[in-house]
Amino acid sequence: MWCAHALRPERAEEPRMPVASQHAPRDLRESRVETTISAPAASSSQVRNVAVDAYRGLVMLLMMGEVLRFSAIARSFPSSTFWHVLAWSQTHVEWAGMSLHDTIQPGFTFLAGVSLPYSIRSRQRKGESFAHMLFHTIVRSLILIVLGIFLRSTAGPITYFTFEDTLSQIGLGYTFAFLLAFATPRWQWIATASILFAYWLAWALYPAPGASFNYAAVGVPADWHHLYTGFASHWNKNSNLGQAFDVWFLNLFPRTSPFLFNEGGYLTLSFIPTLGTMLLGLIGGRWFAESAPKIPLRRFLLAAAGLIALGCLFHFTGICPIVKRIWTPSWTLFSGGVCFLFLTAFSWVIDVKGHRRIAFPLIVVGMNSIAAYLIAHLCEEFIQSSIRIHLGARVLNALGTSLEPLVMGSLTLLAFWLMLFWMYRKKVFIRI
């Protein structure tokens, strides 16, 4: 799924509350009068937005927490509501709706946008030209795309060309978000709305699957209870515009067998509405900069309420369902509102109330998000095999065989965090 510099800007790129200079994009120089809440005074040495770091750390921790395997534990306790709630929270919903686990990818993408104004401002202070920044952004985008493909290919016999991975999705849209960072606030909103409407219209105009459509041929049981009828069927699994594009596009690359469908319904074209999520984060980052040194909690809350309400309106009227797997425009709006709620909560607890110490475990992860992502994807098997060898079944089954996944997952997660803590202490931060 993702990260790199796009999700964790360079250390100097995320000052706590910068004041826009004459060299900053116009949107960073425009100020607005609104009700804001002041944060506690910061020392001159404080250069990071700790709330954003902590939010990023939570997103990463939720991803790394997959090793806890709550679903396996829930199967051992079929009558336990507690374990089933945890299992549901750690599982992607089958189609429409949202679980806690479904907030990970939009959180990644949203925070990539939040970081952009800080990144641009930092580079402008260093005297970099627009052309140089654009070149760096394009290279960064390409690295993210390639890294996503690499991580999806680790278990295959050849390179597995796929672009639905979170890293690749961010990379495909990142350069466009960078360019729009130099637009005025009005044009940023217009661009976001236009992207989502155009994408919705393209799907709405593409022929919907008829009653005789062979869903089994695209990996969907005919009696799958998440299939829509009527206008909403334009967004059915593996029978939509994005699926048709991937059947053409992905078969242009070398493959062990022709691409027919993605089992999860994920699509390459989702990077277009994903760009909308990144632009919402960009707007949130701009609000941070405009309101400095205050925290624009009121704006965050209004944005959250408005976006969630719009997403629900389009979903329940059948105009556009809220589906993460194909990143519908309604999902962009709804999940964007949820991201603003998270940002509000972290800003309130850390910046307004001053509870920075309790966020430290998250900050360790959030300041090195690309390393956390790579560790989770590349080191899990090695760490768990080492635990089995050196601790053995007696320790792993100390709470009973049913809870062995919890013990193993907890030890693995602790190993992940200790690796990141060592990097934090040594000031080793992986950047792109």
Q: Determine the average pLDDT of the residues in 315-341.
A: 97
- How do residues 112-169 score in pLDDT, each as one tens digit? 999 999 999 989 999 999 999 999 999 999 999 999 999 999 988 999 999 999 999 9
Q: Determine the average pLDDT of the residues in 330-339.
A: 98
19, pLDDT greater than 80: no
The whole-number pLDDT of residue 32 equals: 35
Average pLDDT in the chain: 88
Please report which confidence band the pLDDT of residue 396 belongs to, taking 50, 70 and 90 as the band edges: very high
Q: Determine the average pLDDT of the residues in 251-259.
A: 95
27, pLDDT greater than 60: no
46, pLDDT greater than 50: no
Q: Determine the average pLDDT of the residues in 242-254.
A: 97
Q: Pick the more confident residue, 212 or 181.
A: 181
290, pLDDT greater than 70: yes
The whole-number pLDDT of residue 4 equals: 39
Please report which confidence band the pLDDT of residue 47 belongs to, taking 50, 70 and 90 as the band edges: low
pTM of the model: 0.86
Name the percent of the chain lying above pLDDT 90: 81
Q: Determine the average pLDDT of the residues in 233-260.
A: 96
Residues 6+ apart with CB under 8 A from 58: 107, 342, 346, 362, 366
308, pLDDT greater than 90: yes
Whether residue 321 is preceded by a cis peptide bond, meaning omega within 30 degrees of 0, is: no
Whose tokens are 């919890």? That residue is 406
Please report which confidence band the pLDDT of residue 211 belongs to, taking 50, 70 and 90 as the band edges: confident
Q: Pick the more confident residue, 42 or 162.
A: 162
Whose tokens are 């691409």? That residue is 259
